[in-house]
Amino acid sequence: MDGIVPLYKERGMTSSDCVFKVRRILHMKKVGHSGTLDPNVDGVLPICIGQATKVVDQLVQSGKIYTGEITLGLSTTTEDLDGEIVDAIQLKEPFSTEKIKATLASFLGDSIQIPPMFSAVKVNGRRLYDYARAGDPVERPQRSITITQFDLDGEPQFDAETGRQTFRFIVGCSKGTYIRTLAVDFGRKLGLPAVMSDLTRLKSGGIQIGNCITLEQLAQKAAAGELADVLLPIDHVFEAYQKVALDDEQWAKVLNGVFLTLPEQTDEIVALTYQGHIKALYQVENAARHFYRPYKMYLQNQGTH
């Protein structure tokens, strides 16, 4: 039994909790997720089972889409509402919708982000949140990120009594982007504290939230022997890649890790298929000669069965 469970992670659970529960439901050990969601965040969490665990890295590479909320006038130790308040001010008047839209738009494109201290990023073998809890100093690594969409979702709200302004957003981003940190950086651009006050992942690994199932629904399908109805095939991971069907001679070369000339191809990375299933990813070595080298091998990939 191999494939991808399009899981909807509910709030109050860690991503590891979800993996543990899927293992118990399916009575399988080879189970892994493709991108951590914090306990206070819900949404799409693709779970790979069986041979699909071999394509977790490729699934993680895909971009993600989130919807959430930013609160202006407040900041915390964790950059979300779970942490202790470290700064708070009262806004005398709200920022205009135009100003918020323009500031959101300023994040589009490539940039460098420093992950929050309360995160699972490892430095010298220790998670950043371990350094934070122990009060140990550490230099956080910089990350290159790409923001493809950052839109205002609805009208901003201003509470004159608390002096805080909130607004909802939709953001499309590359892997490894911390939305909490985007919220903080948004406030920094306006010269005031800010915090991420809500977040839901709408899309990950090409899976939309509307196509996801809960753990309870997964258990019901498993009990009824209907897992095939909900499992996505391993080849789902490669839907965005140009496909090249191999003949027997080419397949023999791929088995031995031989470089290939693919005259019709111009993409940076292509997916090679044999007998209807993805077997490898090849990356361009010499674009002018259409010469490709092995990038990732999935020789046992047979789709869902």
Q: Could you report the per-residue pLDDT of 5-31, keeping only the tens digit for each?
A: 999 999 999 999 999 999 999 999 999
The tens digit of pLDDT for each residue in 163-184 reads: 999 999 999 999 889 999 999 9
Region 272-294: what's the mean pLDDT? 90
**Any catalytic annotation for residue 130?**
no
| Residue 300 banded pLDDT, cuts 50, 70, 90 | low
pTM above 0.85, yes or no: yes
**CA-to-CA distance for 171 and 173, rounded, in angstroms?**
6
Q: What share of the chain has pLDDT > 90, as a percent? A: 69
Instruction: Share the mean pLDDT of the chain.
Output: 92
Q: Determine which one of 38, 42, 80, 235 is catalytic.
A: 38
